[in-house]
Amino acid sequence: MTRKYFGTDGIRGRVGDYPITPDFVLKLGWAAGRVLAGNNGGKVLIGKDTRISGYMFESALEAGLSAAGVDIHLLGPMPTPGVAYLTRTQFAQGGIVISASHNPYHDNGIKFFSGKGTKLPDDIEQAIEAELDRDMVCKCNDSASLGKAERLDDAAGRYIEFCKSTFPTGMDLKGVKIVVDCANGATYHIAPKVFAELGATVFAIGDKPDGININEACGSTHMELLQENVKKYQADIGIALDGDGDRVMMVDGQGALVDGDELLYVIAMHRHQNNLLEGGVVGTLMTNLGLEHALQELNIDFQRASVGDRYVMECLRKDNWQLGGESSGHIICLDRTTTGDGIVSALQVLAAMRENEKSLRDLLSGMHKYPQTLLNVRLKEKMDVMGQDLVKEAVRSAESQLANNGRVLLRPSGTEPLIRVMVEGRDEGLVNAVAQELVNVVQSCLSA
């Protein structure tokens, strides 16, 4: 489907640059209300992260939805997965999140959930875009038909209780020291309480949002702060969330980084150990080969989807599997919730640690990440580089050199005029050499 506004995860951009403007978001609220609730009214939930522009876009969406005759329940600051959960449990026709995830404060975006708490299918996004091309009119000509707005009581508390319910009954976190980095984002008032109420000793950082410090030198995209604090407090584990709370990265007790591939391995191994893993595991084209080989050792099936949680979810649903994720820490546990959830994913890792009475580093002893090199080649103009005979031959040669101990991936960037060259394998020297050879061939084709 060719989308005019929607990307792989809603609509996103710099605040003030079209379409991330108040007038467009007003009409987007109206269009979404007409599609999600139809002519029968209903209600839509709105949550947001902590960006200063969230106030403006919340008001714009509220006005647009009201004009479409839809009632609005405002959640205030709420993680993206929290909006998904509450949309489902409140039996709403849809949920909207105002967030640009891990981007800096000057960006923002609008994401949608269906009444089932899942990302919108293509046909619904298409229908919303079709409405955006129509003239905006209020529902009927009767003001009595307009939608009303109200705050949902204790939205944060409801989501906190849900998160805790995904942790094994009868198990607690007493004696565990955790540093939680909330990225000055939507989890600042939720994540520390979840872990503390389960018994952990919690040291919270990145929990003082001011509207512009979201993701600034903190959170899952800037792990140095968490590493420093894990060592400072001599914690057992560090948990870093992103601005809207759907991703998680960790730091072990020694201060070493633990990425999404490694967390996915721990969760998969624990589910497999307890005969609770239905089907296999879905990763992406960028998932480290070390995870694939580690899962093979456990006789767990593995598939790769295109990059993006949307495609991981599609692959899971196609085969009726339950567990998948990305290296960036976007992990989906469909046996616990309907979308990627950083807090819930972290709790699954902590459950594996508690049940096995092992540290996170010890749980990772069965997985060895392969060295991976990612190089970018900038394009001056649009060109089918991968279709060039020289490039095809170079890829075949690279794959032959790596044999079964490595992997090659060339793909165009979805956001920039770049060709991304990725090579990974057991031998770091060979990996670096092969990657540079491929870059040289791509550049020679561009020069020619």
Contact 12, 107 (CB under 8 A): yes
| Residues of the chain by 3-state class (helix, strand, coil), percent to 5 | 40, 20, 40
Task: Provide the 8-state DSSP code for 134.
Answer: S
Residue 423's beta-bridge partner residues? 373, 408
Residue 323: in which H helix or E strand, if any?
strand 323-325
What does the pLDDT read at residue 348? 98
73 pairs with which residues across the strands? 45, 150
pLDDT value of residue 137:
86
Lowest model confidence (mean pLDDT) among 2-16, 144-158, 343-357, 421-435: 2-16
pLDDT confidence of residue 414: 65
Higher pLDDT, 55 or 141: 55
Residue reference for tokens 């790596």: 402
Strands 149-151 and 177-181 come out as unpaired
Spot the catalytic one: 101, 114, 327, 345.
Answer: 101
Which DSSP string corresponds to 226-291?
HHHHHHHHT-SEEEEE-TTSS-EEEE-TTS-EE-HHHHHHHHHHHHHHTT---S-EEEETTS-HHH
Token pair 């970018």 in the structure block, residue: 376
Mean per-residue pLDDT for 338-365?
97
**pLDDT at 39 > cutoff 90:** no
What is the average pLDDT value for the chain, to the nearest integer?
Answer: 94
Phi/psi region, residue 402 (left: phi>0; alpha: psi -120 to 50; beta: rest), is alpha
CA-CA-CA-CA dihedral for 310, 311, 316, 319, to nearest 10 = 140
Q: What is the pLDDT of residue 411?
A: 86
Residue 114 falls in the annotated catalytic set = no
Residue 371 confidence (pLDDT) above 80: yes
Dist CA 286 CA 292 (whole Å): 11
Q: Mean pLDDT across the stretch 260-266?
A: 98
Q: What are the chain's domains?
A: 11-152 (3.40.120.10), 173-256 (3.40.120.10), 259-369 (3.40.120.10), 372-447 (3.30.310.50)
pLDDT of 141 reads: 62
Q: Tell me, what's the pLDDT at 416? A: 72
Q: In this structure, what DSSP letter does residue 64 have?
A: H
Cα 328 from Cα 250, distance rounded (Å): 11
* Segment 389-414 mean pLDDT: 90
- 445 pLDDT tier (thresholds 50, 70, 90): confident
What span, in angstroms and rounded, lies between the C-alpha atoms of 257 and 226? 10
Please report which confidence band the pLDDT of residue 140 belongs to, taking 50, 70 and 90 as the band edges: low
Angle subtended at Cα 197 by Cα 172 and Cα 270, rounded to the nearest 5 degrees: 35
What pLDDT does residue 242 have? Answer: 98
Nearest to 206 by CA among 235, 190, 183: 183
How, if at all, do strands 11-14 and 107-114 pair? Answer: antiparallel
User: What integer is the mean pLDDT of 125-143?
Assistant: 87
Taking only the tens place, the pLDDT of each residue in 192-250 is 999 999 999 999 999 999 999 999 999 999 999 999 999 999 999 999 999 999 999 99
Give the per-residue pLDDT at 131: 96
Task: State pTM to two decimals.
Answer: 0.93
pLDDT digits (tens, 9 = 90+) for 282-325: 999 999 999 999 999 999 999 999 988 889 999 999 999 999 99
Residue in 184, 24, 1, 221 with CA at minimum distance from that of residue 110: 24
